[in-house]
Amino acid sequence: MSNTVTSKVSVGDQAPDFALPSQKGEVVRLSDFLEKSMVVLYFYPKDNTAGCTTEACSFRDSYEVFKEAGAEVIGVSSDSEESHRQFAERNHLPFILLSDQKGALRKLYGVPTTLGLLPGRVTYVIDKQGVVRHIFSSQLGVDKHTTEALATIRSIS
Can you give the three-state secondary structure of 92-148, one letter per residue? CCCCEEEECCCCHHHHHHCCCEECCCEECCEEEEECCCCEEEEEEECCCCCCHHHHH
| Dihedrals phi, psi of 144, to nearest 5 degrees | -65, -25
Residues marked active site are found at 52
**Residue 146 identity:** T
Angstrom CA distances, 131 to 30, 101, 143, stand at 11, 25, 24
